Structure formats: C-alpha cells, structure tokens
Chains A and B, each alone.
Chain A
C-alpha cells in the first residue's frame, strides 16, 4: 500500500462508539419500525442489518471488509434506503464501485492460483504427511480459509490484508457489541 494511502484520522474509541450509535439509530428509524406487525425475527434482522451498515460506514470505506459489507447490502433492493440513510451525504457509492473491479481482478487471480495449486497438490499428495513443516503449513492454511470465510469480503484478500482486516473487524465488532449491549440494558432498565 503506497504512502498516499494515509487515511483520515483514527478516531478514539469512545467517539467511534458515538458515531456508530448515531448511524445505527438513524438506520433504525429509517427501517419500517412503526409497523407493529413486524415479527421479532424481522425486527432483529433489521436491527442487525442497520447495525452492520452503521459499523461499516463508520470506517468510511477505508477498510476492505466495510466496503464489501456495504456493497453486499446495496445489492438487495428493499434495504437500499436504509443504506442510503446511514451513508447519508457521503458518496460511498464510488467506493463501492471501485471495489467491484478489484474484486473481479482478484477473483480471476484467485482462480488461476487455485488451478495451479490443485495441480501442485496432486503431485504432492504422497509426501504431505511426512514433513512437520508442511503439516504446520497445512493447518495454518486451513485456518486462514476459515478466517477468510468469517470476515466479510475476506475471500479476496491476501494474507497481509486479511490480518489487518481482522484487526479492524474485531475492534469494530467490539464497539458494536458494547453499544448494543448498553442500549439493550438501558432500554430494559427504562422499562422498569
């Protein structure tokens, strides 16, 4: 990543929470919450959805997972207004657009790599079990695959990017959990 990729400033933890909360509530209001006949599952889905989008938009397109999350969400037609609401005036769509060609390119690369790997694997199958280092590599590779499946948009990242994204994703998830928990417990207390 070049030097020019110095991104806007890193927000301290508490203001990240505030921003997430603000965006989340905006999204919640935009969701058709007034409909009392929404089942709890639908509500839960809407809540989680707006929370995810809020979390991703708090990153302003700086991280891969956030862009991928937003682009995935933008595909479904029904929820686009929520996405727009949360993203607001930020033109996140250009970031989304930019992601797509890189994804395609990296997908093509991945396909080529996979085909080479498959050919290599067929040759190597006999001697895999013997060397401990190859076993270790195999284990690590397996876990990397799992991690890729967990992080949104992870399939398109190389190793370095994956670990960075994981770091960022974990902090964002923590913020999300904290805010949601405090909201839930506060609403519970308020109802007493």
Chain B
C-alpha cells in the first residue's frame, strides 16, 4: 500500500503542476473515502467509528502523518512511539466538525486546483496512511508539512487542507482565481465552480450546505439502518426515532435498576482499578449485591411500561448470559397483565426474557 500511496502522491503533484482541467467535482467523493475506511474495520461498532471520526482532520496534516494511532486503532500500539505526540485529539464534535470542514475543504481545494480526483485520491491515501499508521509516511510528507508557503495562508479554519496542497499550490501561482481573496487575508478561500454564482453569499451558503451534508452523512453512518435511506426528511425521521428509543431505554433501564436495588453495594475501588476493555461484564456480579427484593408498586410500573411499547429489543445486543432470571421477570409479568395496553406490554416482557 505504501508505494502505491507514494506514487499516487507524486502523480497528483505532477498533474497539478501540468495544468488544470475543469472537471465536475463530486463534492462528497472524499466523504465516500471516509465511509470506505469506516466500513473497513467492522469489529467494534462505536469505538472504531468514533475513532475514525478522528481521522479526517484537516486541522493537522500532522494527524494524517503523525497520528496517535493507539487511540485510533486499538490493535496497533507499537506505532505510537513513532509519531509525534503533539497533537491533541479533540472531542467528538470537534472532530466531526473538522471532518466536515475537510470535506468542504476538499471541495474547495479541488476547485482551487482544478485537479479533483488526484487531489481527493491523495487525501484519501493520506487517510489510509493514517489508518494503517505507517511511520514511513512521515518522511514523504515532511516536505508538505513544512512548506513555507503555509505560513502565508491563514485561512479561517482551513489551514490543514492548505498544508496538504501547499506544494501543489506553489506550482500554480500563476492561476487566476476569480473569486478568491488575497492570499494573506484571513478569509475563506473558495473557488467557484464553473457555471455557478460567485458572490459571497452563495459561496457561504454552499459551504454551509456542504458542512451540513457531511455531518448528515456521519449521522447516517452512526444510526443503524440509515444508509439505504435517501432523503433528508426520512433520515431525520430515523434519527429521531433512534434518539427517542435510546431515551426510552434509559428510562426503562433506570427503572429496572431501581427495582433491583434498594441498596447496591458496589466496590468502587475495584472498578476504578480495573483496566481491561470490558471490565464491567466480569466485575459486576462480584461487586453488586442487592439487598432485598423490593415491593414493586403497581401504578408506577404500569405507567412506565406503557411508554415502552416501542421498545425495540431487536437492536439490543444479546448478552452472553444465557440464563433467564425468572425471579425478576415474574413480578413484572404479573404487573404487566394488569396493564390496559396489555398486548404491547406482554410482548415487551417476552422481549425482556429474550434479551436476558
């Protein structure tokens, strides 16, 4: 992969310097690359996804070339030392924002350079480098990162992307850019596509729309079942349903925890000292000692379970514990039969059994 990446880089440099052809740019081509990368490690659902959210950072090409890969990929600890640790991983939202920025920037950069596919390919290969965490890439990338022209570009929130194409842009100083501001001003550098309006309002609007679209794509990745849906309204529907179901789950689970323990005696120290990836599953049975079975109040339960009609047990992971706790289920069942909306509620109890 490494030689391919390097040759791709050089190719992109060459094509950029040769001349430019105006081609239509698929604005989300880059985010497609992201999605490909996201789908590559399928093992861990959320952690790898959120880890990959950290990848497309325009902010620091240092990220691309010197990531803290131990955080990105749990399986590659030995590469940590190879990278400079000067980059702080931002929080999730910041990364998403940067991801969107990157996609917008890729859009802009390709507009600027008018060599779209090699550019995005280069960036995507850079991403792949980050994913594979190859330390050797840093040497090839050093000239890009340390490009002196970078200092002159102080684009608002779009520095990293300029760093990437710094060398290529240097070779294109003769390019007349219609809608671009002076290089040294801290403005957004945006290039208008062919046949589109060039006033600042529409440009800003377009940038904003692309940001929103990039984030929506991320959301689609996160929420299961949204990939096949096209259309913002339906996707938003799915997202809303997902959030509501999660909130209902939290309600229900807190009720369950409340029902179980009037006094949970948890050994905090052993929790705090445990380091393994899944400490909770193993530690809990030893730690948690519920004192008594409480008197379950019928009214309270009825109200709670009425809300759980849409409790989607399908999405719940099957826990490794196969046994069903009949002691716990039967009080619930007896309550649920009182319920006016009994059908859904008993179905819910069955789901609960299956889940356990």
Q: Which residues of A contact B (CB under 8 A)?
A: 1-3, 5-10, 12-14, 17-18, 21-22, 25-26, 28, 33-34, 36, 38-41, 43-44, 46-48, 51, 59, 62-63, 136, 139-140, 143-144, 146-147, 150-151, 159-160, 163-171, 173-174, 176-177, 179-192
Contacts and interface: CB of A to CB of B under 8 A. Distances in A.
A25 B251 contact: no
B294 A40 contact: yes
Contacts of B223: 170
B90 A164 contact: no
Interface residues of B, number: 91
B157 A3 contact: yes
Given A186-B280, A187-B257, 13 more contacts: A6-B94, A13-B47, A25-B271, A44-B254, A140-B236, A147-B239, A147-B240, A160-B215, A163-B215, A169-B243, A173-B249, A187-B264, A192-B327
Nearest to B277: A14
A187 B284 CA distance: 7
A34 B47 CA distance: 36
B74 interface: yes
B208 A190 contact: no
A18 B279 contact: yes
A40 B290 contact: no
Nearest to A47: B254
Contact of A150 (B211, B240, B294, B328): B240
B244 A150 contact: yes
14 contacts: A1-B97, A7-B91, A10-B51, A14-B278, A147-B236, A160-B211, A164-B93, A166-B219, A169-B243, A177-B253, A180-B253, A181-B253, A181-B319, A186-B284
A156 to B, nearest CB: 15
B300 A41 contact: yes
Main secondary structure of the interface of B (DSSP, over half): helix
B61 interface: no
Contacts of A34: 263
Contact of A177 (B237, B246, B284): B246
Interface of B: 44, 46-47, 50-51, 53-54, 59, 71, 74, 88-97, 100, 157, 159, 208, 211-212, 215-216, 218-219, 222-223, 231-233, 236-237, 239-240, 242-244, 246-247, 249-251, 253-264, 266, 268, 271-272, 274, 277-281, 284-290, 293-294, 296-297, 300-301, 304, 316, 319, 321, 323, 325, 327-328, 356
| Shortest 5 CB-CB contacts between residues of A and residues of B | A186-B284, A13-B47, A9-B89, A43-B258, A143-B236
A166 B240 CA distance: 9
B254 A190 contact: no
Contact of A10 (B89, B256, B289, B319): B89
Given A143-B236, A189-B325, A10 B90 contact: yes
A139 B253 CA distance: 33
B286 to A, nearest CB: 8
A163 B259 CA distance: 35
Contact of A140 (B46, B233, B278, B293): B233
A69 to B, nearest CB: 12
